[in-house]
Amino acid sequence: MFIRDLKKCEKIIAGDNTILRELLNPLKEDISVRYSLAHARLKPGQKSLAHRLKSTEVYYILEGKGEMYIDEETENVFAGLAIYIPPNAVQKIKNIGTVDLTFLCIVDPAWKPEDEEVEE
């Protein structure tokens, strides 16, 4: 049985400037899934850097309010929404609320550093 406790996952500042804790990544653990799963957080007023992945990504908003940018489109997002991000799309998200914006990031196939390009 494989169980991962979010509180025991290492906290890192991702290349796009979000606070991340990676929950699942088959490239790092012996698990039979194609995707990776991470928990992300942005403080009020913060935004991630524009970036693109070679993989498909889905954000699932757990708490807070944000402004999601995918290529030329912008939408307000909030808890309970799932956002599909196609491969190679330029993406970023901004916390426009008063509490932390928390969301899950599901990347398929699994995230690896060489598949991400961060714009400065």
Side chain identity, residue 79: A
- Nearest Cα residue to 62 out of 47, 34, 90, 81: 81
How would you class 1 by CB atoms within 10 Å of its CB: exposed for 0-12, middle for 13-18, buried for 19 or more? exposed
- Nearest Cα residue to 59 out of 24, 84, 95, 30: 84
Average pLDDT value for residue range 9-34? 93
Distance from C-alpha of 115 to C-alpha of 98, rounded to nearest angstrom: 32
Distance from C-alpha of 10 to C-alpha of 114, rounded to nearest angstrom: 20
pLDDT digits (tens, 9 = 90+) for 40-59: 999 999 999 999 999 999 99
Distance from C-alpha of 4 to C-alpha of 91, rounded to nearest angstrom: 28
Distance from C-alpha of 19 to C-alpha of 14, rounded to nearest angstrom: 6
Kindly tell me if the per-residue pLDDT of 120 is higher than 90. no
Tell me if residue 36 falls in helix, strand or coil. strand
Domains parsed from the chain with CATH numbers = 12-118 (2.60.120.10)
Residue 119 pLDDT: 87
